[in-house]
Structure 1
Amino acid sequence: MKDREVIERVENYLREKFLDRGDAHDYWHMMRVYKLAREICMAEEGDLQIVSLAALLHDVADHKFLEPGDTEEGKLAEVLDELEILGETRERIEEIILNLSYKGGTNRYEFDHLEGKIVRDADRLDSIGAIGVGRAFAYGGSRDRPMHDPLDKPKEFKDLQEYKKNNGSTINHFYEKLLKLRDGFYTETARKRAVRRHEFMEEFLREFLLEWEGKA
């Protein structure tokens, strides 16, 4: 099967499964990460097919959305089987996807190849900036989290289980994760884009907190 045919098959699968989700990890998030990853890849000269497939599929087995008894490895294998993605391409995609997530800052996995770094950069770019602000509140709302609670301070998480149990406010999420991402980008292409997006979030938070206190 030609590379473009594989991409189209994956796009159709994602559109069918994830188009109507309202938790900010939907089809459109996957497509934005895919487009970002391809742009970074072309600038940084990585393997475009590996990057494209890993970016498109990066959230299909996310730990936040697994059913009881499921594992990330098992769910991802099920999807890749259905899409008939095999061989060395599959092995590299699995490695990237299973080690991509931020996981409350507890993920210490470092990619030793450019493709993994590109996909992680693309995913994290879509977590910050104006899109990042919108996604944070969409996800928080889907989990019944308050926008802001001045009495609940941002936290540090010692492990993934502690991170999963956290149900703090969306504003806390900016300090617990989103504002920390700026210094963790691998590629020069992503680092340049991250500057503007990070600055937007800082300005948004200043305005939000002024309005919260009735000072603006």
Structure 2
Amino acid sequence: MNPSEILTKTENYVRQKLEGEGTGHDWWHIHRVRNMALKIGKEENADLFVVELAALLHDIADHKFHDGDEDIGPATARNWLENLNVDEKAINHVTHIIRDASFKGAEVDTPMKTIEGKVVQDADRLDALGAIGIARAFAYGGHKGRELHNPDIPPKKHDSFDQYKKSTGPTLNHFYEKLFLLKDRMNTDYGLKLAEERHQFMEEFVNRFLLEWDGKE
């Protein structure tokens, strides 16, 4: 099976599995991340086959929806790619990207070992920023039954992935616990440029939110 056929089958598989999902981790999230990863990957002269496969499969079984299981995503991706007879080296590369790409806490480093991993991580993080990032944060918070904001519950700087996964704070805390931290963790110049613009928009949104919350607008 040639690379084009593998990518087409993988796109169809992911779309069928995630289409209509309502927490912001749906097919259209994958679609945006894939397109952004390819754009950054071209700038970085990355292996676009690995980049596209990893972007397509990065949320195929997210730990957030599988009781915090960090292994199910890479394992699901590996099973799919082995069934398509993808080269073992490419499978290992893709599954390592999937395992390492996600944010794991404010005090937890998540370095990527390859340019392909850095590209996919940047693309995924960009989709957590800006207007879409705001929308996704509140969609997920609503799904989890979280308050919009509670001034009596301060944000926390999680120093382990387990702490981060167990967080149940209000959605606005998520901006301080993760989203506002992403800009300074971008790997590529192109990703950083976009992140700076989206970060500024989020800051303006949160400032406005707090003004309205306090009736000061």
Name 2:103's counterpart in structure 1: 102
Find the aligned partners of 1:176 and 1:192 in 2 and give their Cα distance.
21
In the TM superposition, 1:147-166 aligns within 5 A as: 147-166=148-167
Comparing 1-10 with 201-210, which one deviates more in the overlay?
A: 1-10
Contact 2:106 2:181 in 1 (8 A): no
C-alpha displacement of 1:25: 0.7
Mapped pair 1:183 → 2:184:
yes
Name 1:93's counterpart in structure 2: 94
Name 1:36's counterpart in structure 2: 36
Name 1:111's counterpart in structure 2: 112
Change over 3 Å in CA distance of 1:206–1:71 after alignment to 2: same
In the TM superposition, 1:126-205 aligns within 5 A as: 126-205=127-206
Find the aligned partners of 1:190 and 1:127 in 2 and give their Cα distance.
12
Mapped pair 1:209 → 2:172:
no
Find the aligned partners of 2:113 and 2:70 in 1 and give their Cα distance.
28
Name 1:26's counterpart in structure 2: 26
Letter in 2 for 1:87: E
Name 1:7's counterpart in structure 2: 7
In the TM superposition, 1:51-62 aligns within 5 A as: 51-62=51-62
Find the aligned partners of 2:137 and 2:70 in 1 and give their Cα distance.
25
Find the aligned partners of 1:64 and 1:106 in 2 and give their Cα distance.
19
RMSD, matched Cα: 1.7
TM-score by length of 1: 0.93
C-alpha displacement of 1:107: 4.3
Find the aligned partners of 2:77 and 2:49 in 1 and give their Cα distance.
18
Contact 2:101 2:112 in 1 (8 A): no
C-alpha displacement of 1:67: 5.5
SS at match of 1:105: coil
SS at match of 2:52: helix
Find the aligned partners of 2:6 and 2:132 in 1 and give their Cα distance.
28
Change over 3 Å in CA distance of 1:69–1:134 after alignment to 2: closer
Change over 3 Å in CA distance of 1:13–1:37 after alignment to 2: same
Change over 3 Å in CA distance of 1:182–1:11 after alignment to 2: same
Contact 2:68 2:165 in 1 (8 A): no
Comparing 165-174 with 106-115, which one deviates more in the overlay?
A: 106-115
Could you give the per-residue CA deviations for residues 26-66 of structure 1, whole angstroms, max 9, x where no partner exists? 11101100000000011111111110110111111321112
Change over 3 Å in CA distance of 1:18–1:82 after alignment to 2: farther
SS at match of 1:197: helix
- 5+ residue gaps, structure 2, are none
Could you give the per-residue CA deviations for residues 115-152 of structure 1, whole angstroms, max 9, x where no partner exists? 11101000000000011000000010110011111111
Find the aligned partners of 1:87 and 1:69 in 2 and give their Cα distance.
23
Comparing 126-135 with 109-118, which one deviates more in the overlay?
A: 109-118
Contact 1:101 1:107 in 2 (8 A): no
Contact 2:14 2:27 in 1 (8 A): yes
C-alpha displacement of 1:106: 5.3
Contact 1:106 1:160 in 2 (8 A): no
Find the aligned partners of 2:213 and 2:181 in 1 and give their Cα distance.
23
